[in-house]
Structure 1
Amino acid sequence: MQKVIRRTILAEKQAARRLAKRKDKATREWAKITREETNFVRKDESSQIKAARLAQREDWELGPLAPKRDVGDAKDTYGTIISQRTRGQPLDIRKRDEVLKDVGGRYLNIVAGDRVVLLEGRDKGKIGKITSTDARRGTCTVEGLNMVDVAVPQWMITAEEADKRPVRSIEQPVPLTSVRLVYPLTDAETGETRDVIIKKLVNTSFYHDRETKATYWKRVIPGLNISIPWPKQTPKEHKDYDCDTLRLDVEVRSFVPTLLRPPMPSTVIDELRNKYSKFRTRHDPEYIEAKMQEDREKEEKKKQEKLMRTPLQDLNRKERRKKKAKGKGKLTPQMLERIGRVIAQKKQLALDAAGVSQEGAAVAAVA
């Protein structure tokens, strides 16, 4: 039976090592893909900047004779960017913590549905509603603001789409550090309610739900202790289809436990915990009895081996038992004194052989 237990533990360790290898491989592949995407976007951006500088110089030098550039393949997509440029690149963990420090860090206090004002860019000072946030990149998308033209390849336009234009205008994400929350507050003195730009928010009153494993918290204006409520989220609509199992059918009581059998049928346990798996920790009574019988047979073999010992082995065994019964010896004061005399005598012999006196050795030790 012990062999079966060791085999199960070994199988679990091997599975854990394989899982760790798969995770490490997935992490390295993700890092490789991210690195390639970053390099591709940087090359595209630098090439467009170089082309724009060259075009600007040609326009200045040639004047009216400058060539038209919105022709040929770039006739419809001149002045646009690729869609990957709009996404941005994931931030490093250390840099991400530094960027998100002012907006709550790990627990963001600016979420989708909030009204914010842009602090920089061509739409500086305009107010819009956040449609989505991306904590990995430290950005957010504001509805109707920071619009850019994106070139859509022909292979991405399907036959079902009504819009066949090769150029689309979409919102480019802006850094979370470039926006500030806008919320209507009422003045206590005048009673007037107006939009106020909130420069800083702090998170308080964290609550961890054990059932859903979700974390909830409040956002408060420091100094004023004014709690800013979260934006209302519209609940998702779940439609029922013919292939779905209705909740009403699932909650129908079809099993009634009795005092004569356990609440969980054995067939269900076999489905949940496969008894034929190499990771199995439970076995049939017959299998356990067979393994226990093997252990008993091994113990009998060990007893028989003890009966087959030679006279010399028996004598050595008795001697070891006598030594163990005596225990460890103790040094008496007379024995310690004799050991000290022997050490001093050998020390004097060593000094005489080296030609050093006792006084000279003492002076050298002090120096």
Structure 2
Amino acid sequence: MAIFGRNTARQRLKRATQRALSVPMFDAPPDCTPWVIGGLWPPELETVTPATETVAEHLKNDVQRIASSANERLRALRYADLPDSARRAEEVRIIDVARSYAVQRVESTIRQLRSAADDFDTDPRIPVVTPPPVESHVVPDEAEPVVAEPVAIQPEPEPGDHHLARLLEFVARQEPGLRWAVGEREDGTTLLVTDLADGWIPPGVALPAGVELLAPARRRGRIGELLGDVMRSADYHPGDLFAPGRGEPRTESTTARELPRVDDLGWKLIEATHWRDGLPRLVHTLAKAGAAHTGVLDAEVDVLRVHSDTARYQLMAQYPDVDSALLSNCLLLAATEAIAVGDERSANYHFAWFEALNAPTSTQWGAAP
């Protein structure tokens, strides 16, 4: 009986040891850095010179920050109550979105480097060659054939659902990491929304002609609820497949971001960017220059775009739970970039959203019971 007891205890100890050795001593955190930034470093910065040292340092920090944000999302996803298939699909989406942001960030730096090279790629010793004048030959008059003018055939209107799907896909292809929705109201107008920041459309997203946007205001709700009362609608969620043949370019709108003008826009933008945490000094400088219409150098605008793109990539990496301070800085960067290049309509749009989202909330303090 004693021997049997010792054998049983020995077997239990052996099984416990095998089980302990089969489980790793620690849970290694996920690291998607190679998949996010691998192979993206531009050839122009393979050899860093004193002229490109600052640009290379900024680029290195920014792409590493994008990869770190993706790793944080992956770590949070590991503890989410999701099926394995859904978790794997979300992991792939997070990595793909981070990779696309890193690619855009590198492309922005390459454009900046090439723009700077073009500014200095001139040699006064190269003579200017003027082409010789071309002799004109008079052709004797001949009877011109009469060509009948073609009759314009008006295309038949698209079905409502197909039209909405085309509008939706036009914007979703530009920012596939966001949720989008489009709906047709009873009066025939078409409303386009995203839930990035209560309905704000970030810069860089071309809008199709014929759509309207939400007015700046704090609002909550799912993507479909932001549309309000509509007759028909279509929505897009990250990971949805696009139908083939529907993503052809459409006519872009130049007035979709039209809003009532903000009083003293230039002065308010200057005040908002003055010594603001998270914004470089250049933003305030260009806000003053843009408001005064004194002119801004292209190189300064390129640097401002780098800061704006970086902040927007960080914001997208946090989506759907975005930091309010980072969002406000993105709005100010977008408004400053627009006013610096003379696009006052877009500057007014982004700053109006900044005011709406940073306005003090109403409270019940002092209200009658």
TM-score range, shorter chain: under 0.3
Higher-Rg member (1/2): 1
- Normalised by the size of structure 1, how large is the TM-score? 0.22
Query: Which has the higher relative contact order, 1 or 2, with Cα contacts under 8 A spaced 6 or more apart?
Result: 2
Counting strand residues as a fraction of each chain, which structure ranks higher? 1
